[in-house]
Amino acid sequence: MKKIIFLWVVLSFFLGNYLNASADVQAEAVGLQVPLVTNIFARPSITLCGQWNYIVDPLENGYYDYRRKPWTTNGFFENKKPANPSELVEYDFDTSPTMNIPTDWNTADEKLFFYEGTVWFKKSFNYQHKSGKKAVLYFGAVNYDAKVWVNGRKVGEHVGGFTPFNFDVTEILKDGDNFVVVKVDNKREQDNVPTLNFDWWNYGGITREVLLVEVPDTYIEDYYVQLAKGEAGLIEGWVKLNEAKAGVEVIVDIPELKLKQTLKTNADGKAQFAVKAKPELWSPENPKLYKVTVSKADETLYDEIGFRTIETRGREILLNGKSVFLRGVSIHEEAPFRQGRAWSEADAHTLLSWAKELGCNYVRLAHYPHNEHMVREAEKMGIMVWSEIPVYWTISWENADTYKNAEAQLRDEITRDRNRCAIIIWSVANETPHGEARDKFLSSLAKYCHVNDPVRLVSMAMEVTSTTSGNLNRLQDNMHQYVDVVAFNEYVGWYRDTKAARNMVWEIPYEKPAIISEFGGGALQGWHGSADQRFTEEFQEDLYKANVDMFERIEGLAGTSPWILMDFRSPRRQLFGVQDFFNRKGLVSEKGIKKLAFYVMKDWYEKKKNNK
Ligand code: GCU
């Protein structure tokens, strides 16, 4: 018997290496994508960040032959080298330029500033298998369409530019040298999420970290620990393994609360608990985080979790049972100073420090899930978060695949951040046109949130684009019945009714909290002049003064998040010498210089903080 097993081991070793070695293996690994592995930065990993070779491929020549048929061999994914000097191979990653990943290609290579299409990336790395361990290849985000090969074998694909994904590549890796190739295509398509038209730069590339994560063969895939809905005295949660395995002991330990739950997984590989506890509650004034370990015999995950309740009562938002006014600001994932896609802890700290300086206890992270560092930094700094999927403007509401894509992005956003107490609102859309198909699409997403994450609020940014009659602005959107918080964007003083804000009257006919998710206007930092001159700092300052005066007359307003903290790149802003492909509605310029309107908002928030 032993002889047979020995022979089998030897045979499978050589067979495995043969398959890997013949990089032109046609068999596409049937998607090796596995459910998201959460709390990724707490796990042992090899970073694959750093210099990746890249090849720009506008006609997707590395993926299709000249008859537009996908290559099974000869594709760039093989990372082929000529077997002899006479062999024709018309690409070579190793002599191609490199980009320092994570980054967007638009700011990494000035020739690619406007580029929308395919770029191939390749990274070589060394790996040694360890017995009892698996290797999970993790991408924090790739915008927009990613196809991934390891050692020339397809491991899977992913669409969506702002959510993580990962593959179990254990069987494909070799001991020694390996390489990963990623085809990234950021072309905009009508049926994508977001769709063809949006007001931010379409930064393409591997825009967040890439890690090779080492997990035990049976690993803790995900877990949840939080106060039960509306119960400040009961902590509940669960631990989920990567496989349906019963009887595995898992432990959830919160030493400071003297709370230790020793559990056994059920047949689904899941264990649940609920235990009375009186944690110090997380709030902007006291962003208390507890050290939490989730472990089993061969694996320990460290996390920091805040405990809080978030609910509504009539037109009020209640944090830990107390009414709170959301003193917010909207933020795009635009890197301060260097521009490009923000991704790092440093970027997050800079942006959120400006929000703090403004007097914020809340931020609207628009219009897509931001990187995990941004959410964790907000948690540490005591800033509540609105997190949003890019169901933006005129989406293909009738397309089933478009809906699946949107729901997948929502699923992955919730999975990654369900333990992040700072997130109080999931937003399912921004400025979408009224209609039956849209209501069906969005109400299904809202329901998905309520079912899969009942302890948070659901909202969406609606619009009020004109006065109903006279100076009356009435919010009217059928979606009010599906969300917990009604939010709307208004641009009185910029896109409409310039200088009329002081006469405006508002009617919000829904017995729910209402927040203004966007308002504002543009200014080129440093351009001073008359308050009637569009794009001067004085024009923006006067617009802000008129708007905050107007807000004082809106009964029961529960929060505001002006558009926007910092100027950001947009291909829709072409006014030469003023916009130069920047949306200039920032309260801070892209160089970090505050405009006059920043101080109008800061003063108003100071007042709100003291009397609310
Ligand atoms: C809209 C939209 C933003 C956009 C802003 C603007 O409300 O939600 O994404 O940038 O207006 O026009 O500046």
**Which of 198, 430, 518 maximizes ligand 1 atoms within 8 Å of its Cβ, making it the mutation to test the pocket?**
518
Query: For residue 551, what are its two tokens?
Result: 């807000």
Compute the half-sphere exposure of residue 405: CA atoms within 13 Å on the CB side of its CA: 25
CA atoms in the 13 A half-sphere facing the CB of 78: 20
Lowest-pLDDT range, 2-11, 339-348, 370-379?
Answer: 2-11
Residue 349 has pLDDT above 60, yes or no: yes
Mutation pick for ligand 1 pocket among 431, 495, 561, 563 (CB with most ligand atoms within 8 Å): 563
Q: How many CB atoms lie within 10 A of CB 438?
A: 19
Asked if residue 585 has pLDDT above 90, the reply is yes
pLDDT score for 231: 82
Instruction: Report the DSSP beta bridge partners of residue 146.
Output: 158, 184
Query: If you ran DSSP here, which 8-state letter would residue 8 be given?
Result: H
| Residue whose entry in the numeric block shows the structure tokens 């405006």 | 504
Q: Examine the pLDDT at 26 and tell me if it is beyond 80.
A: no
**pLDDT(244) > 50:** yes
Using pLDDT thresholds of 50, 70 and 90, give the confidence band for residue 465. confident
What pLDDT is stored for residue 1 in this prediction? 47
Predicted TM-score (pTM) of this structure: 0.94
Sequence-distant (≥ 6) Cβ neighbours of residue 606 within 8 angstroms: 359
Cα of 385 from ligand 1 centre, angstroms: 19
Atom of ligand 1 nearest to the CA of 461: 8
Band the pLDDT of 499: cuts 50, 70, 90.
Answer: confident
Kindly report, residue by residue over 304-347, the tens digit of the pLDDT: 999 999 999 999 999 999 999 999 999 999 999 999 999 999 99
C-alpha to C-alpha distance for 214 and 137, rounded to whole angstroms = 9
Closest ligand 1 atom to residue 583 Cα is 13
If pLDDT is split at 50, 70 and 90, which confidence band does 22 have? very low
* Residue among 195, 197, 198, 199 to mutate when testing ligand 1 (max atoms within 8 A of CB): 199
The pLDDT confidence band at residue 8, using thresholds 50, 70 and 90, is very low
> Which protein residues touch ligand 1 with a CB less than 6 Å away?
199, 367, 430-431, 489, 518, 563, 583, 585
Name residues whose C-beta falls within 8 Å of residue 537's C-beta, 6 or more positions apart in sequence: 523, 524, 525, 526, 527, 528, 595, 596, 597
Instruction: Give mean pLDDT, residues 145-160.
Output: 97
**Ligand 1: nearest atom to the Cα of 463:** 7
C-alpha distances (whole Å) from 378 to each of 282, 334, 350, 543 are: 12, 16, 11, 28
Which tens digits make up the pLDDT trace of 388-437?
999 999 999 999 999 999 999 999 999 999 999 999 999 999 999 999 99
Residue 2 has pLDDT above 60, yes or no: no
The pLDDT, as a whole number, for residue 3 is 53
Chain mean position to CA 600: 30
Reported confidence tier of residue 468, pLDDT bands at 50, 70, 90: confident
With 50 as the cut, is the pLDDT of residue 24 above it?
Answer: no
CA of 204 to the centre of ligand 1 (A): 21
- pLDDT score of 612: 52
Q: What percent of the chain has pLDDT over 90?
A: 91
Q: Which atom of ligand 1 is nearest to the CA of 430?
A: 8
